[in-house]
Structure 1
Amino acid sequence: MKTVHLAIAAFSLATSATAWSQAPAPAAASAHTLSGNLTLASDYRFRGFTQTAYKPSLQGGIDFSHTSGFYLGNWNSNVEQSLYRGASLEMDFYGGYKFSAGPLNVDVGGIYYLYPSDDTGGLGKVDHAELYLGAGWSLFSAKLYYGLTNFFGLGDGAPGNTKGNYYVDLAATYDLGGGWTVSGHYGYQYVKNGTDFGLQDDDVSDYKLAVTKDLSGWLLGAALVATSDKDFFTTGVSAPKAGGKTRLVLSVGKTF
């Protein structure tokens, strides 16, 4: 019996060694990454101001990235039609390059905001293009967006224009552990010649304090959003009201 056992053991060892030697090598990690995201929020705030007249929004997109640092993406959300000449959908297309420069993580690229509509205003669609340059270090990040077109249609069909508008985004994020994260944000929007086209001022600031919780891959969020001038932009509905009221925005999202 011992001889039989030894023979079986020897055979098992030999076949195991053969199988091991013939096992395919682990596949190399892909240089490409493709991911999607979906979020349901109680309001869609863009630079502090509601885009949905303080109503819920459904948002989603897809992102492609390469280990070289290049990336492309698309993000979409419903919006209030009266804000964008009949458009009920915002579609953002962006691309850029991320790299390290010493202690800084740098991000440079461009974004195009597209609002498909029937052009109810007779002035063309409200599309907008921006270039951006950002940098992050430790908990902190800063990003500058520079507008190449009229600021979301402001100034279309008029002698002047609002090209050269820009936005500064400053933020800090801290990981509390256990899936909890807190963050703070300050933004400054400058609209060139804004007062010439009905704005009370050429600039406005927005603020945000937020907390998120990662719950088994679902990201729950709560953010207190405020602006320096709640009347700077209106909601765009038939009876316009201030679009920058201080409100708590709740959200739940998933990346897949």
Structure 2
Amino acid sequence: MKRTLLGLIVGAVLTQTPLASAVPLSENFELIGSVGALSEYSMRGISYTQRKPAVQATATLAHSSGLYAGVWSSNVDINGIDARYEADYFAGYTHQFSDKVGIDVGYIKYTFPKGTILNAGETYAVLTAYGFKLGSYYSNDYYGDQSYMYNYVGYGVKDLPYGLGLDVRYGLADYKDPSFFSSNGNAKDSYREWEVKVSKNWLALDWSASYVDTNLSETECLQFQGDKESCSARLVVGVSKSF
């Protein structure tokens, strides 16, 4: 299976997990996985560990046809929610039109044991072309019955000097109902987020450093996530080992 195919699978499903490598299981099946530690678990610009460290792991079984299924997990810490970890299950199909152009479509089920109010399902589609990415994720059961759409545009390059990689992303998360409330009583149903990430493989480990931010105020973040600084500008660093 080509490296570009692995990038589609891992990058489209959970972008916070570094790119994994593959272990051949048979002529048609490969196991893709990694385990890593980060300064926090950041998802679409918002910290799910109140800016505290996170340990994350993922494993994906991929078929040469482009079909795949897998699991991803991380510890979480969200004020007002008893959940201590998140386990996500995903399945999808990816296809390469060429070495530079591909598409990935699938479904993710987010689960939070002891915090089932956060459980949700998402369908997604990600188009990759010449380093650019255009992704869309949709759910109709956020917080029980809230519909939600997340769209982003990004760009990545892996062959910069000194073996560095660079990924940038700009996204919009849009909820059906107003979900963010400011100190003056105004409400809005969406927020914007962005990330600039530098990565490097060194000593057989994948290292990364990301600048993450959103346009949410401290008051809006406190009301939504239970921590006023979990949506502010910050640096997220991580290291992972692929297998």
Judge conservation of contact 1:82–1:236 (CA < 8 Å) in 2. Answer: yes
Would you say the 8 A contact 1:141–1:170 is kept in 2? yes
Say if 2:79 and 2:225, in contact at 8 Å, map to a contact too.
yes
1:65 to 62, 66, 70: 62
- CA contact 1:80–1:236 (8 Å) conserved in 2: no
- Which residue does 1:203 correspond to in 2? 190
Write the mapping of 1:154-173 to structure 2, written as runs, cut at 5 A: 156=144, 161-163=145-147, 165-173=148-156
The structure that has the greater radius of gyration is 1
- Matched with 2:157 is 174
TM-score by length of 1: 0.76
Listed as ranges, the matches of 1:137-156 within 5 Å are 137-149=129-141, 151=142, 153=143, 156=144
- The reply to whether residue 94 of structure 1 matches residue 77 of structure 2 is no
| Counterpart check, 1:233 vs 2:221 | yes
The amino acid of 2:192's aligned partner reads S
Indicate how the Cα distance of structure 1 residues 230 and 33 shifts in structure 2: closer, same or farther if over 3 A, else same. farther
Aligned ranges for residues 117-132 of structure 1 at < 5 Å?
Answer: 117=114, 125-132=117-124
Closer, same or farther in 2 for the Cα pair 1:233/1:147, shift >3 Å? farther
Distance of 2:164 and 2:181 partners within structure 1 = 42
Query: Which is strand-richer, 1 or 2?
Result: 2
1:230–1:93 Cα change, 3 Å: farther
Residue 215 (structure 1) aligns with: 202
Specify the alignment match of 2:32 in structure 1: 35
Match of 1:185 in 2: 169
Partner residue of 2:236 out of 229, 249, 255: 249
Kept in 1, the 8 Å contact 2:111–2:118? The answer is yes
After superposition, the CA RMSD in angstroms is: 2.2
- Any stretches of 5+ residues in structure 1 without a counterpart? 1-27
CA distance in 1, matches of 2:90, 2:212: 25
* Greater CA drift, 136-145 or 30-39: 30-39
Query: In percent, how many aligned pairs have the same letter?
Result: 26
Distance 1:253 1:246 in 2: 23
The 8 Å contact of residues 230 and 243 in structure 1, kept in 2 or not, is answered as no
SS class of match (2:79): helix
Deviation at 1:194, TM superposition (A): 2.3
2: CA distance, partners of 1:93 / 1:48: 21
AA paired with 1:75?
W
Q: Is the 8 A contact 1:131 1:148 kept in 2?
A: no
Do 1:204 and 1:227's aligned partners in 2 also have CA atoms closer than 8 Å? yes
Q: Is 1:187–1:207's contact at 8 Å kept on the other side of the alignment?
A: yes
**Runs of 5+ consecutive residues of structure 2 not aligned to the other structure:** 1-24
